[in-house]
Amino acid sequence: MPAQMPAVVVDGLENQFRLLKVWEAPDRDAFMREVASEVRGVALGGHTKVDAAFMDRFPKLEIVSSFGVGYDYIDAAEAGRRGIMVTNTPDVLTDEVADLTVGLLIATVRQLPQVDRYLREGRWLEKPYPLTATLRGRKVGILGLGRIGKAVARRLEGFGLPISYHGRNRQADVSYDYYPTLAGLAEAVDILISVAPGSAETDKIVNAEVFRALGPDGIFVNVGRGSVVDEPALIEALRSKTILSAGLDVFADEPRVSKELIDMEHVVLLPHVGSASVETRRAMGQLVVDNLVSWFAGKGPLTPVAETPHRR
């Protein structure tokens, strides 16, 4: 384990394996060189880049069990070429992230954090808070209609909002309107929600063109990956009122957040807490453990990623 993870992972793995806690070593590189020939599995939570050089260090490595749905910090294609399994933790966080997404959208449209600050500062005593925008009459576009994207869409259907989406391909079993280009989707809607994973394919695809298409009444919400957004273009779109507002749970250089965004009163910023409830994080941690236990029991991985397919 290169960096510390939740107690459910540490305790669960210590009960089953010899767990090498790299973060406790005075000299981490020296410690990893010392134990490299023994390591068959790695458990990590996004703190460590797993590329070809990392894999080269561990000649007996069989599996990397990752905490979270996104695994853009792992070169899973390279792992697949080497026969190294990569697993993640899908499904157990779907509802939590979808709930947070809807909450972030409402908070952004109705300016809930700003209203809260207004009251706490005693300004309600002076005059009522200004009127806000509304969800009524809006159309929603979703970038990345996977498990979480579909869960968000189902929730927003309950608000009476029409749903459209963009992805690599049209999904045959989905009734929502499909747009083959992201700019086309943005032009057709006034709320754009990104649930897209980080990858070379999605890097900075939400750009100035997309924000212009979204328009001056547009709301942008991102709960996927910060790398999907051209952050300087987003800042300029917010500054110039090319779009109305944004609600962001992810950023380009986490945990560092651009001062320009922090200084903007009309945006809502969260510190990547989409799945951050006690129950959900416990379930994610347990799945990290369960993948490793299942693999070393000879039963195969429970949740392999697409780049490293495995047939039981």
Query: Are 37 and 59 within 8 A, CB to CB?
Result: yes
Sequence-distant contacts of 308-311: CB under 8 A, at least 24 apart: 308/76, 308/79, 308/80, 308/84, 308/85, 308/86, 309/80, 310/85
- Residue 310 is among the residues annotated as catalytic for this protein: no
Residue with the two structure tokens 């590329």: 51
Catalytic residue of the set 138, 166, 187, 225 = 225
- The radius of gyration of the chain from alpha carbons, rounded to an integer in Å, stands at 21
Catalytic residue of the set 121, 239, 254, 266 = 254
- Residue 311 is among the residues annotated as catalytic for this protein: no
- Residue 266 is among the residues annotated as catalytic for this protein: no
Query: Are 230 and 208 within 8 A, CB to CB?
Result: yes
Catalytic residue of the set 272, 282, 307, 310 = 272
Handedness of CA 233, 137, 273, 147 (dihedral sign): negative
Q: Which two tokens stand for residue 127?
A: 């005059």
79 vs 54, 62, 168, 307, CA distance in Å? 10, 9, 23, 8
Query: Are 288 and 65 within 8 A, CB to CB?
Result: yes
Q: Distance between CA atoms of 89 and 67, rounded to whole angstroms?
A: 6
Task: Count Cβ neighbours within 10 Å for each residue of 221-248 and write b for 16 or more, e otherwise.
Answer: bbbbbbbbbbbebbbebbeeebbbbbbb
Q: Which two tokens stand for residue 235?
A: 């800042």
5 vs 22, 51, 106, 279, CA distance in Å? 11, 20, 32, 15
Among all residues, which ones are annotated catalytic? 225, 254, 272
